[in-house]
């Protein structure tokens, strides 16, 4: 297949900058695509660490002003891997410059900002996608395929957790490069936008829209030293959030997220209970999907653990990797997302989740935070 270069301008070089760069580097080796991503330029404020990042991953050039990157004629797509409070401004400029945009999650600080961003990319007619990468873990995509095939029947329950423990120490500061997730001015919210947003995106994808929510949040450590001001300041983020909801299909949802679950580092789990079957998934064992089918013969009926590594089309994405039985991991979800984006883009089609899809998650996050604040049910 004749390949065409597709030039990437990466903004940010933290954890996600690395995860996405890795995906661009690998995708053409494993997927036959018309578009071949080229690491054209990396952008951040500090030239020295940026140059080191660019050298390590093979970016051809650097920019220390994102506006210059966005205006460059040799950039086809802008990838936004900076704190949430910077997403909107960059998206509006990149859309005006006619660039395709791949934006880290959550889309925006709140739904109002997200709506503005959707309108900008839609008016400009530029391709857009948000990095809700867990959809592309093969076991999660398999869950989607099983639900869509009707095997579960009517869905009664959806429950999800995202548990971590990295902010328990009271002397952990907030703000700045590594700790912007604790600073409400940079992040918009705490675990709701950072962790529950993943759970909500997957839930909407698997089980449809959420109608209304009732939530509670807690901030366990009320004040932290701020890295940018050097002062002890109020903590404005939610450290933990739990909510229940009604899905529009009539099923009930239960979601919990915290950074105070000692022992859990990134325990994202979900379970879906249907009339005929149930499924369970766990990020710590991400290549497995647990499945219970009530239709199985009684003598062997029970939970089975599907090792999602088979070829021949049964297990999503796996034909592109090694041989049947050999598992893949976290970073491959990003490779799959890039592959799907490039494939769709070459055909002039949208790649999910688009900004509009991600706005629905943002609206649920807004309703969750509003409900926790006034202790009442909120429609989405
Ligand atoms: C937070 O620790 C975090 O890195 C999130 O920001 C990511 O989105 C999640 O996938 C893993 O945890």
| pLDDT tens-digit series, residues 221-234 | 999 999 999 999 99
| Residue 313 reports pLDDT greater than 90 | no
Which pLDDT score is estimated for 193? 98
Average pLDDT over residues 205-209: 98
Calpha distance 93→84 (Å, rounded) = 16
Which pLDDT score is estimated for 130? 98
Cis peptide before 291 (omega within 30 of 0): no
Could you tell me the CA-to-CA distances from 155 to 147, 158, 210, 271, 277 in Å, in that order? 9, 8, 13, 11, 9
Ligand 1 pocket test: which of 266, 267, 330 has the largest number of ligand atoms within 8 Å of its C-beta? 266
Q: How confident is the model at residue 178 (pLDDT cuts 50, 70, 90)?
A: confident
State if residue 183 touches ligand 1 by the CB under 6 angstroms criterion: no
Ligand 1 pocket test: which of 195, 267, 269, 331 has the largest number of ligand atoms within 8 Å of its C-beta? 195
Calpha distance 95→84 (Å, rounded) = 17
Residue 277 CA to ligand 1 centre (angstroms)? 30
Report which ligand 1 atom has the smallest distance to the Cα of 164: 2
State if residue 266 touches ligand 1 by the CB under 6 angstroms criterion: yes
Cis peptide before 353 (omega within 30 of 0): yes
Read off the tokens for 25.
């580097």
Question: Using CA positions, which residue lies closest to atom 5 of ligand 1?
Answer: 194
Ligand 1 pocket test: which of 163, 192, 194 has the largest number of ligand atoms within 8 Å of its C-beta? 194
Calpha distance 323→335 (Å, rounded) = 18
Of 99, 119, 154, nearest to 275 by C-alpha is 154
Could you tell me the CA-to-CA distances from 160 to 137, 269, 370 in Å, in that order? 16, 6, 20
Which pLDDT score is estimated for 333? 98
As to burial, measured by CB atoms within 10 angstroms (0-12 exposed, 13-18 middle, 19+ buried), residue 324 is middle
Per DSSP, the residues of 278-293 read EEEEEGGGTTEEEEEE
State if residue 194 touches ligand 1 by the CB under 6 angstroms criterion: yes
Specify the pTM. Answer: 0.98
Q: Are 75 and 7 in contact (CB under 8 A)?
A: yes
State if residue 232 touches ligand 1 by the CB under 6 angstroms criterion: no
State if residue 178 touches ligand 1 by the CB under 6 angstroms criterion: no
User: Is 272 or 312 the better-scoring residue by pLDDT?
Assistant: 272
- DSSP 8-state symbol, 195: I
| Phi and psi torsions of 121, nearest 5° | -70, -35
Read off the tokens for 312.
């021949």
| H-only helix segments in the chain | 15-30, 47-57, 66-71, 87-96, 111-124, 138-148, 184-187, 191, 197-207, 330-346, 355-374
Strands 267-274 and 155-163: antiparallel
| Residue 2 reports pLDDT greater than 90 | no
Which pLDDT score is estimated for 128? 98
Average pLDDT over residues 160-187: 97
| Residue 170 reports pLDDT greater than 90 | yes
Of 195, 127, 119, 207, nearest to 164 by C-alpha is 195
| Residue 201 reports pLDDT greater than 90 | yes
Domains of the chain: residue spans and CATH? 4-133 (3.40.50.720), 135-379 (3.30.360.10)
| pLDDT tens per residue, range 33-43 | 999 999 999 99
| pLDDT tens per residue, range 118-144 | 999 999 999 999 999 999 999 999 999
State if residue 104 touches ligand 1 by the CB under 6 angstroms criterion: no
């Amino acid at each position: 297949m004749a390949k065409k270069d597709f030039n990437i301008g990466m903004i940010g070089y933290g954890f996600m900058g690395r995860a996405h760069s890795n995906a661009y580097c690998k995708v053409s080796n494993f997927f036959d695509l018309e578009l071949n991503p080229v690491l054209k330029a990396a952008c951040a404020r500090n030239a020295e660490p940026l140059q080191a990042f660019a050298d390590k991953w093979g970016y051809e050039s650097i920019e220390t002003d994102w506006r210059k990157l966005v205006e460059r004629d040799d950039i086809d797509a802008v990838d936004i891997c900076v704190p949430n409070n910077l997403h909107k401004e960059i998206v509006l400029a990149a859309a005006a410059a006619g660039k395709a945009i791949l934006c880290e999650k959550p889309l925006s600080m709140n739904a109002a900002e997200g709506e503005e961003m959707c309108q900008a990319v839609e008016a400009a007619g530029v391709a857009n996608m948000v990095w809700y990468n867990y959809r592309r873990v093969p076991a999660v995509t398999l869950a989607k395929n099983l639900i869509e095939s009707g095997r579960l029947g009517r869905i009664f329950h959806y429950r999800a957790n995202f548990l971590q423990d990295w902010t328990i120490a009271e002397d952990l500061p907030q703000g700045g490069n590594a700790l912007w997730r604790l600073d409400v001015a940079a992040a918009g919210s705490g675990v709701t936008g950072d962790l529950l947003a993943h759970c909500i995106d997957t839930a909407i994808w698997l089980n449809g829209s959420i109608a209304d929510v009732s939530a509670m949040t807690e901030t366990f450590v009320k004040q932290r030293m701020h890295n940018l001001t050097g002062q002890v300041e109020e903590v404005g983020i939610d450290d933990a959030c739990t909510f229940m909801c009604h899905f529009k299909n009539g099923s009930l949802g239960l979601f919990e997220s915290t950074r105070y679950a000692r022992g859990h580092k990134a325990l994202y789990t979900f379970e879906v209970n249907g009339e005929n079957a149930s499924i369970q998934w766990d990020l710590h064992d991400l290549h497995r999907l647990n499945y219970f089918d009530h239709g199985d013969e009684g003598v062997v009926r029970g939970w089975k653990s599907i090792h999602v590594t088979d070829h021949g089309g049964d297990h999503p994405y796996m034909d592109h990797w090694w041989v049947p039985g050999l598992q893949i991991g976290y970073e491959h979800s990003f490779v799959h997302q890039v592959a799907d984006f490039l494939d769709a883009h070459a055909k002039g089609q949208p790649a999910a989740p688009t900004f509009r899809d991600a706005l629905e998650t943002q609206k649920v996050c807004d309703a969750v935070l509003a409900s926790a604040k006034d202790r009442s049910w909120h429609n989405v």
